[in-house]
């Protein structure tokens, strides 16, 4: 997730809404491999609704997809090549449960 977006706060100082982005990073040894991991990850997260005892959270919605890139900071020892990663950002929205 992000470092946090400015939250909506009531007069009593209690957060009354959550609207943020959740990043999901997929990694593989190749560009075609990472695209397959992205496809399978999206299928797993499609319609996923996080649960919380204190918050009503809406199902995740794919908000943005970033292009696949080489991670030049990492070299795989077996192949001496760089892994490939791609990041999807999902919108995470929730409201506190009534007590």
26: β partners: 86
Cα-Cα-Cα-Cα torsion 43, 46, 50, 51, nearest 10 degrees, comes to -100
pLDDT string in tens for the chain (99-residue length) = 555 555 555 555 566 788 889 999 999 999 999 999 999 999 999 999 999 998 899 999 999 999 999 999 999 999 999 999 999 999 999 998 876
62: β partners: 90
Three-state secondary structure string covering 56-81: EECCCEEEEECCCEECCCCCCCCCCC
């Amino acid at each position: 997730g992000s470092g946090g977006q400015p939250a909506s706060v009531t007069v009593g100082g209690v957060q009354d809404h959550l609207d943020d982005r959740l990043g999901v990073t997929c990694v593989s040894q190749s560009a075609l491999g990472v695209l397959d991991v992205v496809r399978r990850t999206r299928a797993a997260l499609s319609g996923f609704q996080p649960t919380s005892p204190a918050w009503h959270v809406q199902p995740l919605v794919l908000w943005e997809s970033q292009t696949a890139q080489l991670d030049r900071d990492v070299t795989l020892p077996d192949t001496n090549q760089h892994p490939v990663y791609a990041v999807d950002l999902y919108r995470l929205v929730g409201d506190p449960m009534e007590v």
